[in-house]
Amino acid sequence: MKVSLEEVTKVFDGGVTALDALSLEIQDGEFFALLGPSGCGKTTLLRTIAGLETASSGTLRIGDRDVTGVPPGARDVAMVFQDYALFPHMTVADNIAYPLRIKKVGRAERRAKAASTGEGLSLGGLMERRPAQLSGGQQQRVALARAMAAQPTVFLLDEPLSNLDARLRLEARTFLKKLQHDLDVTTVFVTHDQAEALALADRIAVMESGRIRQLGTPREVFQRPANVFVAGFIGSTPMNLLDGECVPGDGETATSWGHRIDVAGVRLPVPEEIVTELAPGDKVIVGIRPEYLTESDEGIKGTVEIVENLGTTSLVTLATTGPNVQLTVPEGREPKPGATLHVTPRPGRMLVYRADDGELIA
């Protein structure tokens, strides 16, 4: 089912505004990620959808039903908590069957349903164990099975993978993606791990201070961050954000086509699609991912400071006259520390933000 929020605000006792007039529509069947730094309001938003927090103002709908004041049990949502919150004294089977017991489903039907759900999540041989006798990954699957058994219309997952070690995490990530695809249930999950959000979600809301700074597909958010906040947040190696100024072209016409952006003393061409948006004197911030900087005879000059091995590539940090610039180079092509390099963005891979408000010029 669709989940929609209209101008939802949550102010906690003590005055913290965790959600600030936030509006959002999550589509039926969508796998939706809430992403952002610690304290941005992700968990509060999830808990508000669950009914564990009450909005201070605004409207929340699940499907066409206004559930703003409806208690959690009557919302038809299931939440999986970060620590899984399994009942330690119950077996796996009883844990999975628990929501059905609450719904007063008969014992035989509960057993059968728990068994088939457990089977679907590869828990078949573990049904009589207790949570303490399971690995982290198995506990996570029990928590998911318990949420699924209730057949909710919306799944809410709070950092579902954060308690797993790196290897298991990848495995569980793939598993979760397939499960969500098969179930086709609207799923909202909270994460502070952008790789996880990019890998799993149909769409991502990137949050800051109780607001959504960008809403888009993983590709949109990665390729075209809407502002410098998102640009700095998304990407396993952070985007280079360099101060620049629009200047007239070298002795050319004074038309906008001749404009350049001066970055660290180098004049880069203004991307064609935004030439009419800029005039000489405009202050900008140029965003270039380390993956999209290449060595060239001209371009921003820097001295190699650090070379970090990332596996199939290396991350090179250059000291320039301005802030440091980072680029990735293929394995085996690493420059030596102390060497001088010139780097330039690949055509079409430079983003330009307004310096005053940090918004993408598009």
Residues near ligand ATP, by CB under 6 A: 12, 14, 16, 18, 36, 38-44, 192
Q: Quick one: 193 or 262, whose CB is closer to ligand ATP?
A: 193
Q: Quick one: 22 or 114, whose CB is closer to ligand ATP?
A: 22
Q: Quick one: 123 or 188, whose CB is closer to ligand ATP?
A: 188
Sheet strands side by side (includes 77-80): 77-80, 154-158, 186-191, 31-35, 203-208, 211-216
Tokens of 156: 């809410």
64 contacts 90 by C-beta, under 8 angstroms: no
CB of 7 to ligand ATP, least distance (A): 18
Beta-ladder partners of 26: 3
Q: Quick one: 110 or 192, whose CB is closer to ligand ATP?
A: 192
CB of 190 to ligand ATP, least distance (A): 6
C-alpha span between 360 and 228 (Å, rounded):
8
Looking only at the bridges linking them, the beta strands covering 186-191 and 154-158 are parallel
For 106, residues 6+ apart whose C-beta sits below 8 A from its C-beta are none
Q: Quick one: 16 or 339, whose CB is closer to ligand ATP?
A: 16
C-alpha span between 192 and 195 (Å, rounded):
9
CB of 282 to ligand ATP, least distance (A): 34
CB of 37 to ligand ATP, least distance (A): 7
CB of 319 to ligand ATP, least distance (A): 33
For 275, residues 6+ apart whose C-beta sits below 8 A from its C-beta are 256, 257, 259
How far is the first Cα of the chain from the last one, in angstroms, to the nearest whole number? Answer: 33
CB of 24 to ligand ATP, least distance (A): 15
Cα angle: 63, vertex 68, 70; to 5 degrees: 90
Q: Quick one: 41 or 118, whose CB is closer to ligand ATP?
A: 41
